[in-house]
Chains A and B, each alone.
Chain A
Amino acid sequence: MSVEISPMILSVFVPLFGAIAAFVLPRAAALIGFATLVLTSGAVAWLARDVLAAGAVGLPLGGWGAPLGIDLRADGLSVAMLALTSVVGFLVSIAALDSLKGPEQARQRQYFWPLWLLLLTGMNGVYLSTDIFNLYVMIEVIALAAVGLTVLSGSRAALQAGLDYMYASIFGALLFLMGVGFVYLQLGRLDFAGLTGAAPTGALIAALALIFVGLALKTALFPLHFWLPAAHANATAPASALLSGLVVKAALYVVLRLAQYMPFPSENLLTLVGLMGAGAVIWGGVQALRAERLKLLVAWSTVAQIGLIFVAFARAGEVGLSESWKAAALLILAHGIAKAAMFLAAGRIKDEIGHDVIRDLDRTPIRPTLAQFTFALAAISLIGLPPSLGFIGKWSLMEGAMAAGYWHWVGVTMAGTLLSVAYFSRVFAGFLRFDRVRAPVGEHQGWALADAAPLTLALMAIGLGLLAAPVLSFIEIGYPFGVAP
């Protein structure tokens, strides 16, 4: 009796088994975690090959088929998200090996791996799901694991931030669940296919609103972003990288996915989404300008960037949605990679110089050069300078908005870009200024192997811009929005 296993089920189960093993055998957690990530990446690669060869693939779990059972489905967009998660996850794991290596971090090390692998289980589950209740459960897996990672350091600030995150997370999930209830009331089924083409009745509009607000809370869309800066800024560096680079993307992905199937009630709603995004871009930018600590600045920049992704989503109105999601997807990928790199680099800088107060970045004779360089590279992608992936995303955003005559979104994007230049240049100035240091500046201090992972991520964020065309054609596989490119 040979077991026939699909790569889809493996990309959810391998991390699950890994988490179990890492929890049961805490001493071998790092080793298990690593092996798991390698195997998961293998499963995702296998899945990517299948999707490339055959287009979108599905798997009716239990053989029942939707709507009674739950189907898994993988198309270009899902696989792109899975790949993002695998690649970023793998590199962050390498960084975590170094950043959690001290004897005083034994406990963090022991819990980092099971929590992170559970998180991976949940995220991969979200990207393959086609059922809104299943999404709810997966989101909760993510939420609990993510909160665990947030408070890994055990500091009071981290715990307070983690508790606020927990409240927001539960609250968002419950709004989502209420929305699921209304969908069931109206349609009697919960699979994506059942949503397609449904008439926008009152119950469905309520469902949509509840689900959207719930997800906006989870992904920290302005003005529901209040929990994010503290949570992401106070977590340990690898956890911050995972939270900011990957976790918020899961909820964003669900928004994209639902927009594909939900009957969208109106153009006005899309405008509202765009306005919230614009608010995030401006407010996040202003707060980042005022932030006193490096990691807080980076966290506020996440708020702004999430807003930008929503602007991309709304950039060309209802008619343009069949194209706009691609701009949003590109920005999601770009932000995921670059922000992970940036948080890791910020963590390295903090480790090396012992603090992350922006004003005093230049008051130290130690210069973690490579980490600073990595930070700058990541910033290039986040600002959206060529040829980074962030630039390509921004280009698509503005191109679509311009072609559709939505100049206000072009203006918002430009304002956001200028703000990001302004706040990141505060950091650059701290890196490059050295007249206040009394001690002679040593050469190349702080070059360490630990910089390899963030640097690789940052270089990917820049370099993937050159591969934007194949990336774009890949995420179109299975025509997620039902419109042929």
Chain B
Amino acid sequence: MTPDLIYGLTGVAVFGIGLVGALSAQDRLRRVLALKLCSVGAGFLLVVGAWREPPAAPDPVPHALVITGIVVMVSATAVALALIRRLQTLEATDER
């Protein structure tokens, strides 16, 4: 039982949970969150792939990729949330 095995399975599980959420969530915010979970799952996978048995240093390339992925995801999340807010405003005015 090494950390990469444990956390690799964690990552796949988190990805799977995100998958369920992305498919079933009706609530807009919850769906964004589910997608974020998927991205964390993918991040786990890459970080696990980079892990080397100490004292060997891990592979830095996947780390860089995950950082990129995190920034990309926050950008996408921000856009999705802006859409949600705007849509809500329009729906609220239409209701009145």
Residues of chain B within 8 A (CB-CB) of A185 are 45, 48-49
Pairwise interchain contact B15-A178, C-beta atoms closer than 8 A = yes
Question: DSSP class of A's interface residues: helix, strand, loop or mixed?
Answer: helix
Pairwise interchain contact B86-A159, C-beta atoms closer than 8 A = yes
Is B13 part of the contact surface with A, judged by Cβ < 8 Å? no
A sample of 6 more A-B contacts (CB under 8 A), given A136-B69, A170-B76, is A156-B90, A156-B94, A167-B31, A177-B42, A182-B45, A185-B48
A residues apposed to B, CB below 8 Å: 68, 133, 136-137, 140, 143-144, 147-148, 151, 154, 156, 159-160, 162-163, 166-167, 169-171, 173-175, 177-178, 180-182, 184-185, 188
Pairwise interchain contact A178-B79, C-beta atoms closer than 8 A = no
Pairwise interchain contact A167-B72, C-beta atoms closer than 8 A = no
Task: Using A137-B72, A177-B39 as known contacts, say yes or no to A163 and B80 having CB atoms under 8 A apart.
Answer: yes
B residues apposed to A, CB below 8 Å: 15, 18, 22, 28, 31, 35, 38-39, 41-42, 45-46, 48-49, 59, 61-62, 65, 68-69, 72-73, 75-76, 79-80, 83-84, 86-87, 90-91, 94
Q: Whole-angstrom distance from the CB of A186 to the nearest CB of chain B?
A: 9
Task: Using A167-B31, A170-B76, A170-B80 as known contacts, say yes or no to A181 and B45 having CB atoms under 8 A apart.
Answer: yes
| Cα separation A140 to B79 with both chains bound (whole Å) | 12
Residues of chain A within 8 A (CB-CB) of B68 are 133, 137
Please name 27 pairs of A and B residues whose Cβ atoms are closer than 8 Å in the assembled complex, sorted by A: A136-B72, A137-B68, A140-B72, A140-B75, A143-B76, A144-B75, A144-B79, A148-B79, A154-B86, A163-B28, A163-B84, A167-B35, A169-B76, A170-B73, A170-B76, A171-B22, A174-B35, A174-B38, A174-B42, A178-B41, A178-B42, A180-B65, A181-B42, A181-B45, A184-B62, A185-B45, A188-B59
Residues of chain A within 8 A (CB-CB) of B65 are 133, 180
| Best-surrounded residue of B73, B83, B90 (most CB of chain A within 10 A) | B83
Partner of B83, one of A163, A178, A181: A163
| Cα separation A136 to B69 with both chains bound (whole Å) | 9
Q: Whole-angstrom distance from the CB of B19 to the nearest CB of chain A?
A: 9
| Cα separation A178 to B91 with both chains bound (whole Å) | 35
| Cα separation A167 to B45 with both chains bound (whole Å) | 22
Q: Whole-angstrom distance from the CB of A483 to the nearest CB of chain B?
A: 32
